[in-house]
Structure 1
Amino acid sequence: MKKIKVILVDDHAVVRAGYKILLKDIDDIEVAAEAENGNEAIELIKNNKYDVIVTDMSLPDIGGIDLIRKIKTINSDSKILVVTMHEEVVYVEQALHSGAMGYMTKSADPQLLSKAIRQISRGKKYIDDELQQRMTYEGSRDKDSILSRLSTREFEIFCLLAEGLNTNEISKKLNISYKTSANYSTNIKSKLGATTVADVARIAIRYNIIKV
């Protein structure tokens, strides 16, 4: 039996250990590698072939959306499953738009992990049922949401601004120039009708992007 080779990308060792426990007795799935940050994952993916990449959206060095984009640049056929704490529909939409094939939250039934990996390895998208229902409901309710005005990159920077990162910190995290980071920040505020970073944070709270 050919096994599905998986790489686990998460900055928490206990989370990766939990995934390995869940998958260790699954005959057709093999955890072939682990990475604790985005840059480590990129190096492994450049030099090895994995059938499915399981990654968090919140990593210490690279934003999840940026990581998905970089992985797809390395290999456009990469099959990526996002497993994260972010339950907001806008995160799901942005991850899928960036190239992920699946999305599930860390609060989902743990037994669904192997199902998601198998489904994605066969080239089929996977979104857990609860998220799928929310996407259908919120998609019709919030189709005119101001967040829909943002591109994938703008949404990523919007989230970082809302978390309190300044322009310089964002430029370093995303490996872009200070000027580019500043331009994005200005454009985001303009699209959202925001004047200050505090305004950006309030919008993020309204849409449950950050919690208070």
Structure 2
Amino acid sequence: MNKITAILVDDHAVVRAGFRLLLSTGDKIEVVGEAARGEQALQLYQECRPDIVVMDLSMPGIGGLETIRRLLQRDNQALILVFSVHHEQVYVSRALHAGAKGYITKNSAPEILTEAIDAIVRGECYVERGLLKNPPEAKNTRDYHAILSEFSPREFDVFRLLAEGMTAQKVADQLCLGHKTVANYATQIKKKLQVDTTTELAHIAVHLGMMQR
């Protein structure tokens, strides 16, 4: 039986080494390539044509969500499993909306990674148990989930980093964008969310469960 071929996309070499070691313990999956960022993943996918891409969301450069979008733009049959530290529902929803076929967290049991890959290659979707839920929203608050669902991948990345307290310059460095571009994104984001400050963006992120109080 042919092995499932996979490429690993994560900006931490140690994490990729752990993925590779974990997958090599079985005889069903073969890692055929690694990338540290989305731009490299797009090129590697063209070269390797793997059965599945296992990738993080938080990476320098174009980031995970935009990588998902571009991969599917080039090949609408591409299978993508997100393997992330983020367990909040807003990240799961964004990844699945972008086109990922599965989502698991890095603190999941080791066998979950293999199980998820196997399921997705069989044509199923796989989301780690407990990640998709419907927590009660606070009364009399805007439906921020609906607003964020309309954000582009870049807008979402800028929103997330600004909410975490990064300056516009640091966000620009992290995402490999110009400072003016980030400033324009920030203006658009605040306008859509009807807020004036990055502190208010942080409050929204807390409300959505993306950050701790």
The TM-score with structure 1 as length reference comes to: 0.86
Deviation larger for 142-151 or 106-115:
142-151
RMSD of equivalent CA atoms:
2.5
**1:118-145 CA-partner distances (Å, limit 9, x unpaired):** 11112211001121xxx2333x658963
Alignment coverage as a number of residue pairs:
207
Q: Counterpart in 2 of 1:111?
A: 111
Contact 1:56/1:84, CA 8 A, preserved across alignment:
yes
Contact 1:85/1:107, CA 8 A, preserved across alignment:
yes
Following TM superposition, by how much is the alpha carbon of 1:210 offset from its aligned partner in structure 2, in angstroms? 3.1
Following TM superposition, by how much is the alpha carbon of 1:202 offset from its aligned partner in structure 2, in angstroms? 2.4
Q: Return the letter of the residue paired with 1:2.
A: N
Question: SS in structure 2 opposite 1:130?
Answer: coil
Q: Return the letter of the residue paired with 2:197.
A: T
Q: Counterpart in 2 of 1:156?
A: 157
Structure 2: gaps spanning 5 or more residues: none
The TM-score with structure 2 as length reference comes to: 0.86
What is the CA–CA distance in structure 2 between the aligned matches of 1:191 and 1:167, rounded to whole Å?
Answer: 21
Question: SS in structure 1 opposite 2:61?
Answer: coil
Q: Tell me if 1:137 matches 2:134.
A: yes
Q: Counterpart in 2 of 1:192?
A: 193
Q: Return the letter of the residue paired with 1:158.
A: F
Structure 1: gaps spanning 5 or more residues: none
Question: SS in structure 2 opposite 1:81?
Answer: strand
Q: Counterpart in 1 of 2:175?
A: 173
Question: SS in structure 2 opposite 1:137?
Answer: coil
Q: Counterpart in 1 of 2:69?
A: 69
- C-alpha change, 1:78 and 1:144, in structure 2 (3 Å) is farther
What is the CA–CA distance in structure 1 between the aligned matches of 2:190 and 2:2, rounded to whole Å?
Answer: 50
4+ runs of 1 displaced by more than 6 Å? none
Q: Counterpart in 1 of 2:29?
A: 29
- Percent identical pairs in the alignment equals 40
Question: SS in structure 2 opposite 1:115?
Answer: helix
